[in-house]
Structure 1
Amino acid sequence: MRHILKNVFALSSLSLSLLSGIAYADDAADAGKLMRSGQTAEALQKVDSALLQRPKDAQLRFLKGLILTEQNKSSEAITIFTKLTDDYPELPEPYNNLAVLYASTGQYDKARASLEMAIRTNPTYGTAHENLGDVYAKLASQAYDKALQLDSGNATAKLKLTLVKNLVGNTTGGTNPKINPSPATVVATAPSKPTPVTARTEQEPPKAEVKLSKAEAKAEAKASKAAAQADRDEDDVLKAVETWAKAWSNKDITIYLSHYAKEFQTPKGESRKAWADERRNRIEGKGHINVKVESPKINVDGNTATVKFKQIYTSDQLTANSRKTLQMLKQDGKWLIKQEHAGN
C-alpha cells in the first residue's frame, strides 16, 4: 500500500510552551538538523543526552519518536508517542503520528481510534481529519475484498472497491511511511506539513463516473454511520463515568454501586459483598467528597471500553490527584465497570 497518511514533524506552539530553557531548544534544533541530514544515530544520541537532563521534555520526546520512526523502529516509536499521549493528552500531534505508525503495520482500527482522539483534542486539526478519511477508505477496501471472497460475482462490491482504489491508490500490501521533514522541524512555532502525497486517480468514461458517484455516496454514508455510532458509544461511556463520579461525590452509595458490573473484579480478590461493604463504610464515613474526571481518553471496541483519566479526589480528610483506568463493558444498553485500577 502506498500510504498517504501524513506525519506531523513539528510540535504546536502549545507544546513549545512546555520548554523551559534555551539550551533545551538548541538541543532539539541540533538534533533536528542531524536527522534531516540523515545522521539519525547521531541525532538520537543528542536527544538521549538532553533527555538525561530533562526526561519530561515534551518536544525532545516527540523528536525521539520521529527519529525512531525514521529508523523504522516502529514499536519503539509507538511506545514514545503513546507515553506522550498519557502525559500530555491535550496535544493532538502524538495521536496523529501514532495513527500513521499503526496504519503502516495494518492496525487500522487502532489508527482510527488515535485519529479520533486527535480530533477530539483539536476539532480543527485538518491533517487528522484527512488521515481519518484515508483510514476509513482502507477499512472499506478490506470489507469489499471480503465480500468478493465470499461472492466473486458481486458486481456492486467490485465497483465500490474500484472507487476506493481510485480515491487512495492501491490498497493492497503495505510499507512504512517515509518521513521527509521540512526545515522547520521541531523548533518551529507552529506545526509544519510534509509535502502532500496526492492520491492516484484514473480517468473513467462519463458513464462510469456517474455510477462511481452513486457508489461513492453510499460508501460515504456507510462510513459516516460508522463514525456516528463510534461517537455515540464514546459519549455514552463518558456519560457513565461522569455519572459514577457524581454519585461518589454525592455519597449516593446505591447509584455508585450500580455502576459496577456483576463481573466486576474486586481489587484484592475479596467477595463482591465484602468489597461493597468496605466502599459503603469509606464513602458514607466522609464529611464531604468531591470527585472530578479530567482529560479522559476513551477507546471503545465493540461492547468493551477502556477509559483513562486524571482523577481529582477531595474530602475533609484527603486531597489526591492520580491517574485512573476503568475497564468497562456494555450490558443491557448500559456501560458498567468491570475493573478499575490507579496509575498509568
Structure 2
Amino acid sequence: MHRFLYIVIFILSTGPVFAASSIQNLQHLIDQKLYDQAARSGEKLLQKHAGDPDIEFLTAYAYQMNQQSGKAAKYYQELIRQYPELPEPRNNLAMIYLSDGDYDSASELLVNAINTHRSYATAYANLSNIYTGIASEAYRRAVSESNEPDSYANNIELTALTRLTPVRARATAESGLTEKSATSLTLVNQLIGWAKAWSEKDLDAYLGYYSNEHKLDYPTHRAWVEHRKKRILRPGFIRIEVGNFRIRAQSTNRATIDFDQSFNSLGYSDRVTKRIRLNRINSKWKITDERVLSVL
C-alpha cells in the first residue's frame, strides 16, 4: 500500500521585480528537475540577496531533492527561526527527519506546522501518514518477528505541490490549531492505536477502545466481549492496517469516521470500508458503533 507524504514548494514574499525574476528562473530549474543546477543558482542568488526567504526555501528544496539533506535542513531551520509563522519549512524539514527514521521529530514539526496555520491540510495529511506508517511498521515487525531497522521511511513517495504564499499574508493569517482540528488528530490517532492493539492481540488494550455499552448485534456487551475474545486470541497472526480516514461528523462529544481497513490472518484476508462512531466519555473517546460499509 503506497503512502504519500507531500513536500511543498511555495513563493514566500512579494519582493522587488528583480527578486521575482530570479525566483521564476530558480523555480523553472526545479520544474525541470535540474536540482543540482538549481541549488548552485540559489547559492549565487543568496550572495546578492542574503536572507531572501523565497530563494532560501527553493534552494533548500533543490538540495533536498538532490539528496543533500544536511544543506537543505540548514536552510529550513533558518527559515523556521526567521519566520516562525510559516508552516511550509517545518513540513519539508519533517520529511528529512522522517527519511532519517526520526518519527518523533518529524511528527513534532508537523504538529507545529498545523499550529501555525489551522487550515494547513498538507501537514495534517503527512502527520496522519506518519502515524499510519509507524503502526504498519509495528505490524511488520510483529508478524515477521524481525529486529531489522524500521523500513517505512524508505518506501515513501514524495509529491511536490506548488503554493504561492506571501510572507505578509502568512504573518497576518489566523493561526492556532482549532479545537476541531486537534480533536481530528486525536481521533485518527485513536483508531490507529485501536488497530495496533488488535494486531498485537492485546485484548485489554483493544477492548479499552470501546464503550461499555457497545454490543454490536449481540444481546449484551459481555456477549460481544466473549465473541471478540475467542476471535482475537485464536492461534495465528492478525495484521490490521487502517488509513484514508474521513471524518464525516464531529461535535464536542460525538464523532463519525469512515476509513479503509485491511485485515490479514493465516486463513483469511479482506479489505473493507468501515464506519465507526465514537462518544467522548469521561474525557476519553470510546467506540460506540462499528459497521462495514462496503468491501473493497
TM-score (norm 2): 0.52
Asked if the contact 1:63–1:186 (Cα under 8 Å) also holds between the matched residues in 2, the reply is no
Among 57, 61, 72, the residue aligned to 1:62: 57
The alpha-carbon distance between structure 1 residues 81 and 175, as it changes in their structure 2 partners (threshold 3 A), is farther
Q: What is the CA-CA distance between 1:136 and the residue it aligns to? A: 0.8
**CA distance, structure 1, for counterparts of residue 124 and residue 161 of structure 2:** 20
- The corresponding residue for 2:30 is 35
Cα distance in 1 between the residues matched to 2:3 and 2:96: 11
Which residue in the other structure is 1:133 paired with? 128
2:194 maps to: none
Deviations 1:83-134 (A, max 9, x none): 1111110001101111122222322111100100100100111111111100
Aligned length: 185
- Which residue of 174, 177, 185 maps to 2:154? 174
**Aligned-residue offset at 1:204:** 7.5
Residue of structure 1 aligned with 2:77, choices 64, 79, 82? 82
1:50 equivalent in structure 2: 45
Once the two structures are aligned, what percentage of the paired residues are identical? 25
Q: Secondary structure at the match of 1:6?
A: strand
Assess if the C-alpha contact under 8 Å between 1:47 and 1:64 holds in 2.
Answer: yes
- What residue in structure 2 maps to residue 248 of structure 1? none
Cα distance in 2 for partners of 1:179, 1:95 equals 16
What are the within-5 Å matches in structure 2 for residues 204-215 of structure 1? 208=270, 213=274
In structure 2, what residue type is equivalent to 1:91? L
SS of aligned partner of 1:5: strand
Q: Does 1:22 align with 2:17?
A: yes
Q: Deviation per CA, 1:146-167: give whole Å up to 9, x if none.
A: 554679xxxxxxxxxxxxxxxx
Question: Within 1, Cα distance between the matches of 2:37 and 2:65?
Answer: 13
RMSD: 4.0
Aligned to 1:228: none
In the alignment, the residues of structure 1 paired with residue 139 and residue 161 of structure 2 have an alpha-carbon distance, to the nearest angstrom, of: 35
Structure 1: gaps spanning 5 or more residues: 152-170, 192-197, 219-223, 226-344
Q: What whole-Å deviation, never above 9, does each CA across 1:237-272 have from its counterpart, x for those lacking one?
A: xxxxxxxxxxxxxxxxxxxxxxxxxxxxxxxxxxxx
Change (3 A) 1:213 1:202: closer
Partner Cα distance (2:138, 2:126) in 1? 19
Instruction: Check 1:136–1:178 CA distance in 2 against 1; reply closer, same or farther (3 A cut).
Output: closer
Tell me, which stretches of 5 or more residues in structure 2 are unaligned?
171-242, 245-259, 279-283, 286-296
Q: Secondary structure at the match of 2:84?
A: coil
CA distance in 2, matches of 1:41, 1:91: 26
Are the aligned partners of 1:66 and 1:77 in contact in 2 as well (CA < 8 Å)?
Answer: yes
- Map Cα deviations across residues 205-224 of structure 1 (whole Å, 9 max, x no partner): 999557x848x889xxxxx9
1:128 counterpart letter in structure 2: A
Q: For residue 67 of structure 1, give the secondary structure of its aligned residue in structure 2.
A: helix
Q: Over alpha carbons, which structure has the higher Rg?
A: 1
Q: How far off is 1:75 after superposition? A: 1.9
Question: Contact 1:105–1:174 at 8 Å: present in 2 too?
Answer: no
Question: What TM-score, normalized by structure 1, do the two folds share?
Answer: 0.45
Q: Aligned partners of 1:176 and 1:74: how far apart in 2?
A: 16
C-alpha displacement of 1:78: 1.5
Letter in 2 for 1:53: K
1:10 corresponds in structure 2 to 10
